[in-house]
Amino acid sequence: MLVVSAAVVERDGRIMLCQRLPGAHNELKWEFPGGKLEPGESPEAALARELREELRLEVSVGRILDAVHYRYPDREVLVLFYRCRITSSEPVPVDCNAIAWARPEALPGFDFAGADRAFVERNPQLAE
């Protein structure tokens, strides 16, 4: 099972989403940015590293919001969703197709990857 950390970054009442690259697993689906943990790495450290690598973004990782276990046809994942705050710079789509800033009430309208969709459905308070 893959363990993944994902960021819920809010700014000016909007939440940052990333669209996966063409050809990637779940290509062109939307997700909360993040990535896999390396051996011996904490979820918080992995999340900060992934956001730095994929978006050239520095963040402060806050509290965990949810943990979603999800089984795709070809893999099983545990995604740990953390509240994060940008500490410097603007996100740059280095390793994603696009970045969107969405109002919480618009989240159900995005074509999310399965685990991210489950997170949105389980956390309706994001839209409150």
pLDDT at position 89, please? 83
- The answer, yes or no, to whether residue 128 has pLDDT greater than 90, is no
CATH code that applies to domain 2-127: 3.90.79.10
Average pLDDT over residues 47-72: 97
Band of residue 112 on the pLDDT scale cut at 50, 70, 90: very high
CB of 116 closer than 8 Å to CB of 6: yes
Share of the chain above pLDDT 70, in %: 98
**Which residue type occupies 25?**
H
Between 125 and 72, the higher pLDDT residue: 72
Residue 123's pLDDT band, with cuts at 50, 70 and 90, is: very high
What the block records as the tokens of 118 is 């489950």
Tell me the mean pLDDT in the region 84-103: 95
Mean per-residue pLDDT, 110-116 = 98
User: Quick count: other Cβ atoms within 10 Å of Cβ 108?
Assistant: 13
